[in-house]
Amino acid sequence: MRTVNLILIVFILSNVSCQNTQQQPVQSIGKNNVIKKEKMYTMNIDAIKRHIEWQSHIESTEDGIPASYTYTEQDVNIALPIIAQGLKDKGFKQLSDSSFNKALTNIFGKILSRKNDGVRFHNKFNTIIEEGYEKEDEYDYTIENIFVSIEYKFISWVPLLGDFIEFEDNNSYKIDLHPKIISRNKYLFNNSQSDLAYLLAEDTLFLKTLVKSFGYTKEEKINTLAMNDYLDLDNNHMPTVGEIIFVKNAEGVLEIKQELLQWISDHTRVNDNALLRALEQYTYSLYSNTNNDIFANNPFEIFSLDEKRKIVAYIANIYEPLQHQLMPKNPGIWPGSSVLENMLNEDKGLEDFLKQHRYFSLPALKQELEPAD
């Protein structure tokens, strides 16, 4: 009898505790008839209801009723704490300010370090605008803009409340985030390798955008996704691979993505030197403006002479040893002269420049120009 009373007391206390919180578990039947508890919330519920209703009128209807609501900064501010709670429920660990800022720089480079045309800055979030679009398109949910929460330290696409909030009744709701948002944040900020595996299978466009648009090259598996896109191009367009390897950052400084150069070196074979030859063609585009309309940013125009010479140095550093190693085995796919030979003939000041800069500490390049006795 004493045991029954004890169970009854625990049950009553448990119910009282649940009623005094904003988070209330409800039971649902999962696979194999296993009962699972789903968390329910009431925080900011009145504002959420209003904005869900307003957001339902962002587009005109099939019946011809015109759109009557414009998405605003306030819509994002309402969504951010709800997304943060949903991420927390899925095991996302929020970083400290310094760690988050460091992670953002590793992912997006210096694009957020100053005001520029590619970013909109707000008090509670910043928006990175997808390449090719204007700041006026910030809240267009058909565009892959990236919203960076300053307070809660995560990223999202345009957060439409109806996409991740589900009302069970009029008094509470559950948070159901898209798996891509969860995995993007857990991989990029928590280094979750299981979430990287999910993204590699289900979110390849986003991963390739990290490499091509923002210069995130720290993960070889993601680099492979991006580089395979260039291997699929025809020979005339393959040299555009140089645009993601040699880039001007948000501060206008040349950055060289050595991980991608190493990828090309590692994937050059006796019977396949396509991307290496594409880099050879890219060096010619540095010094000639002919047929450069294939590039989004013309290398002939955007780089100074010193920057062009540095780019040649890094290309030659992988090209020369590979040509020495592989050309005897399959000479038909190699030109008669090397990149370095051609560029030394093209740019008479190149050799002195490379010596002056100690060959940028590139060993294979130094070996070519100052072979050991």
Q: DSSP per residue over 121-134, as a string? A: E-SSEEEEPPTT--
| Eight-state DSSP code of residue 371 | -
The set of residues, in sequence order, having a beta carbon less than 8 Å from that of 35 and lying 6+ positions away, is 27, 28, 29
Task: Write out the two tokens for 274.
Answer: 């396509």
Task: Write out the two tokens for 350.
Answer: 């190149």
The terminus-to-terminus CA distance of the chain in angstroms comes to: 96
In angstroms, the CA 142 to CA 157 distance is 10
In angstroms, the CA 159 to CA 45 distance is 16
Number of residues written out for the chain: 373
Task: Write out the two tokens for 69.
Answer: 């609501």
Residue-level pLDDT at 42: 93
Q: What are phi and psi of 268, to 5 degrees?
A: -85, 130
Decide if 303 contacts 310 (C-beta within 8 A): no
Residue-level pLDDT at 360: 97
Residue-level pLDDT at 21: 35
The CA distances from residue 322 to 265, 272, 310, 365, in Å, are 8, 12, 19, 12
Residue-level pLDDT at 38: 78
In angstroms, the CA 208 to CA 216 distance is 9
Decide if 239 contacts 278 (C-beta within 8 A): yes
pLDDT, tens digit only, all 373 positions of the chain: 444 444 333 333 344 333 333 555 544 444 455 555 679 999 999 999 999 999 999 988 777 788 889 999 999 999 999 999 999 999 999 999 999 999 999 999 988 877 778 899 999 999 999 988 988 899 999 999 999 999 999 999 999 999 999 998 889 999 999 999 999 999 999 999 999 999 999 999 999 999 999 999 999 999 999 999 999 999 999 999 999 999 998 888 999 999 999 999 999 999 999 999 999 999 999 999 999 999 999 999 999 999 999 999 999 999 999 999 999 999 999 999 999 999 999 999 999 999 999 999 999 999 999 987 5
Residue-level pLDDT at 54: 94
Decide if 313 contacts 369 (C-beta within 8 A): no
Amino acid occupying residue 19: Q
Residue with tokens 């190693």: 325
Residue-level pLDDT at 166: 95
The set of residues, in sequence order, having a beta carbon less than 8 Å from that of 188 and lying 6+ positions away, is 103, 107, 155
Residue-level pLDDT at 339: 96
Amino acid occupying residue 347: D
Q: What is the pTM of this model?
A: 0.88
Q: Strands, E, within the chain: which ranges?
A: 24-29, 35-40, 119-121, 125-128, 146-149, 155-156, 165-167, 173-175, 246-248, 254-256
